[in-house]
């Protein structure tokens, strides 16, 4: 049971580590999510784009754990942006997840496509998000893959500020400018791919620190985020690794080693930038 929490600007508390669900239901079943619940995860990050909301609902129902003890976060996709579309998107997501509220709802990407008038579309979409928050259908509203110039457009034109922004963050890819902007605006940053899709696990510094702290390389990556006050959303299909990642809260990286990790050479990234065509 995780006790430690991150607090959002509206006072809501999230567990320090959540479970990322992208591609965890490729077999079209609830098995991996069920294993994650058994491993102790309480927070599940999904998106309409992942196509797995119904499996998460199934896993929670099978677990017998009450909905109130679980945190559910989802995102509306590029094709669901705009005021009316967003309303339909939330209703569909709530139906898929078998719930009448979300703990967090986000806009998945700032630009529906590179040619669209994204500033206007983001503001319209955010108007719907604010209504969802005010109606109690979602306990927090946020963004995903938004950079400072995208967030600023929302902040300049909104009543309710975003509470969360989700970014790709791991050692060797820390998006300092975006993270600093979020912190200055009291926006909790969440990290997708906090272990760099396992690519970063053989880096010499990460291996050195894993040995020093009697931890696994993945634990160094997950705890690195937590020590940066960023909420990591690691993914795994393996129950031992799921637990290992949760237990990274027990690893205490010294300030000196944290600085070394925070300033290490770039280790690559997932290749998705909101203002560019996909690299891969
Ligand atoms: P697996 O599902 O076999 O555990 P990210 O969350 O950064 O996108 O990384 C997910 C990848 O990292 C998956 O390939 C996952 O593989 C692997 N992974 C997750 N946890 C660990 C761990 N503790 N040790 C090694 N690899 C891990």
How many angstroms separate the alpha carbon of residue 195 from the centre of ligand 1? 7
What six digits make up the tokens of 247? 């237990």
Q: Is the CB of 245 under 6 A from ligand 1?
A: yes
In a mutational test of the pocket of ligand 1, which residue from 17, 20, 39, 234 has the highest number of ligand atoms less than 8 Å from its CB?
Answer: 234
CA 218 to chain centre: 17
- CA distance linking residue 268 with residue 95, whole number of Å: 37
H or E, element range at 223: helix 217-227
Looking at the CA of residue 242, tell me the nearest atom of ligand 1.
Answer: 20
Q: Is the CB of 232 under 6 A from ligand 1?
A: no
21 contacts 27 by C-beta, under 8 angstroms: no
In the chain, which ranges are E strands? Answer: 5-7, 13-15, 19-20, 43-45, 71-76, 104-107, 141-144, 164-168, 188-192, 230-233
The pLDDT value given to residue 26? 72
pLDDT of residue 165 exceeding 70: yes
Share of the chain above pLDDT 90, in %: 93
Q: Is the CB of 238 under 6 A from ligand 1?
A: yes
Span 96-101, average pLDDT: 98
Nearest-CA residue for ligand 1 atom 18 is: 236
Nearest-CA residue for ligand 1 atom 26 is: 198
Verify whether residue 50 is a known catalytic residue.
yes
Looking at the chain, how many residues does it have?
A: 280
Looking at the CA of residue 197, tell me the nearest atom of ligand 1.
Answer: 9
Span 162-178, average pLDDT: 98
pLDDT digits (tens, 9 = 90+) for 24-64: 877 778 999 999 999 999 999 999 999 999 999 999 999 99
Q: Is the CB of 234 under 6 A from ligand 1?
A: yes
Catalytic residue among 41, 50, 105, 181: 50
Instruction: Give the chain's count of helices (H) and strands (E).
Output: 10, 10
The closest alpha carbon to 106, from 85, 86, 135, belongs to 86
How would residue 278 be classed by pLDDT, with cut points 50, 70 and 90? confident
Average pLDDT, the chain: 96
Against a cut of 0.75, is the pTM above it? yes
What six digits make up the tokens of 275? 């203002």
- Residue whose tokens read 């010499």: 204
CB atoms within 10 A of CB 120: 12
Nearest-CA residue for ligand 1 atom 17 is: 198
């Amino acid at each position: 049971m995780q006790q430690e929490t991150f607090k959002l600007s509206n006072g809501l508390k999230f567990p320090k580590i959540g479970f990322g669900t992208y591609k965890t239901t490729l077999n079209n079943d609830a098995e991996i999510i069920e294993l994650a619940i058994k491993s102790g995860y309480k927070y599940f990050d999904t998106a309409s784009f992942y196509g797995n909301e119904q499996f998460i609902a199934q896993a929670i129902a099978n677990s017998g754990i009450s909905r109130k003890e679980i945190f559910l976060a989802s995102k509306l996709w590029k094709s669901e942006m705009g005021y009316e579309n967003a309303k339909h998107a939330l209703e569909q997501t709530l139906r898929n997840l078998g719930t009448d509220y979300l703990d967090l709802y986000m806009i998945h990407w700032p630009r529906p496509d590179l040619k669209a008038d994204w500033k206007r579309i983001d503001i319209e979409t955010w108007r719907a998000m604010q209504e969802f928050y005010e109606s109690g259908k979602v306990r927090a509203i946020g963004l995903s893959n938004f950079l400072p110039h995208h967030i600023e457009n929302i902040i300049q034109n909104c009543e309710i500020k975003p509470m969360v922004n989700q970014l790709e963050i791991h050692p060797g890819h820390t998006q300092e400018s975006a993270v600093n902007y979020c912190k200055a605006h009291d926006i909790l940053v969440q990290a997708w791919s906090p272990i760099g899709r396992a690519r970063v696990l053989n880096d010499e510094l990460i291996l050195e620190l894993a040995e020093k702290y009697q931890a696994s390389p993945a634990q160094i990556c997950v705890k690195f985020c937590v020590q940066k006050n960023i909420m990591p959303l690691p993914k795994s299909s393996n129950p031992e690794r799921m637990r290992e990642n949760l237990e990274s809260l027990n690893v205490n990286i010294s300030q000196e080693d944290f600085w070394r990790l925070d300033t290490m050479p770039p280790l690559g990234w997932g290749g998705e930038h909101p203002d560019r065509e996909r690299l891969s």
